[in-house]
Structure 1
Amino acid sequence: MAAAPSRSRGDFDHLIKLLLIGDSGVGKSCLLLRFSDDTFTTSFITTIGIDFKVRTVELDGKRVKLQIWDTAGQERFRTITTAYYRGAMGILLVYDVTDESSFNNIRNWIRNIEQHASDNVNKILVGNKVDMDAKRVVSTAQGQKLADEYGIKFFETSAKTNQNVEQVFFTIARDIKQRLTETVAAATEPPAIQISRQDPDQAGAASSRWSACCNT
C-alpha cells in the first residue's frame, strides 16, 4: 500500500504527466479536483480547452510529481487536445456509467490515442459516477469486458464519494514508474559478450592447421 501522499513542493524522483480524456460531462474535472484538492462541487462548468493540476505523492519510497492534464471533451476542442497526447505518459479514459453514449465513445478515444500518443503510453479505463446507481446503464461487467479487450486496467469511481479515486491515480502512476525504472535499467545494462561455440570438427581442423604451420 502506498504511503501517505505529500503535497509539498520539494524535490521529486519522477515527473509523470497524465491525461484525462473522455466525453464532456463524464466527470473528468471532478475526478481531478477530488484527487488534487480533495474537494467536490456539483456546479463545475465545462472545461474550456486545457487545465491541469499538480500533486506530489510517495510511491514505494520514491517522490513522484504528478502533472495531470484535464481536456475538454467536446468535438470542437478535440484538435486542441491532440497535441497533448504525445507528452502524456499515462492516459485515463473516463466514461459516465449513467451515459451509454460516453461508454460507446471510448473506442473513438482509444483510436485517438493510437493515432497521436506514444506507443508505450499507459492506459486505464475509468467508469465514473457509480454513486448514481439508480441511473446506471453501463454495468461493471461491460466495463471490465472492454478493458480486457484492450488489455488495460479498469476501475469504477465516484468523484462525489471519493470511491476509488486515489486508487486509480496511484495505480497508473505506479505502473508508469515501474516502466520508467525498467527502461533506465535496460539502458544502463552493459552489453552482453557473445561467445560463439565452435564445432568440435572445426576446432580440430584449426588446431591441425596451427600445428602444421608451426612445424614448417
Structure 2
Amino acid sequence: MNDKRIRFVIKVDGIQKTVIAVRQVKNSDNGELFDLNIHTTSGGRAYKASTVGDLVATIDEASFRECDQHISVHCNTKSDSTNTIKRSLIFGDKSIDSHVQITTGIKKDNLFVPALFMVCGDLSRDRYTVPADCDDEIIDIGELWPSRDQLRLMVVVSQKDKEFTFHEEHPSNLKTIKLRNFSLIFIWSFLNVPSHPQAINFFIGTTRDQGPMRGLDWWEIYNLYTDINMTHATAYFDAYPSTS
C-alpha cells in the first residue's frame, strides 16, 4: 500500500480518460508517513477571473496560460492539530501560483476536509487519454459524453479510518479510498449541458488572519458540494440561457 498509485478514469467514446491521479509521497521529515499528491492531467491551461460568471463565460483559449496543477496534502509532522493542503499552479514560464489551506479538520476534529471541487473540461481531448503503459490502480467512474454532459467532482480528505456516511438521496456518486495515512473521498455527478473546453476549479484557502479551517461533518460536505454545484450551474445558465 505504501506506493499505491490511483487513477480515476471515465470512458469517452469507449476510451479511458484520466480525471485525476493520486500519488502517495514519503514525507520529508518522517519516511514512515506519506503525503498525498492529487494531479490533474498535464498540458492544461489556466485563467483567473474575479467571478464564477466570468470563468464560465470565458471560453477563448487565447485568454488561458499554459499551466499544470496539483494539490498536495501534508502530514505536518511538527503539528499535533493541523494539516496543510496546498494548490500549486505551475506555469509554462516556471512561475508558481500557490494557495494554502491550513486545517484542523483531519487531526484535531477527526472530520472531513474539501481539497478540491472541479468542473471538468472537455475530456475527449487526447491529453486525457490513459497511457497504454499505465500501471496505476484504475477507478472507473462510468461514461461521459462531453457534447452533452459536464462532470463535476469533489475530492475530500480525512483520517484513514474515518468513515464517510453515504446519503442515498443526494444526487451524486461516492467512492472512498483508504491510503497509508489518509482516506480520500471522491464525490461526483453530471450536469446535462455541454462541457467547457477547460476545467473550472474551486479551492478553499485560508489566511493567517482567518486561522485554520475547521473540519466538516459528512452532511456539511454534501451541502458544500450542492452549494458550489448550484453556484456554477446558475452562472452557466446565465451565460448560456439557450441551454436551460
The TM tier, using the shorter chain, reads: under 0.3
TM-score by length of 1: 0.27
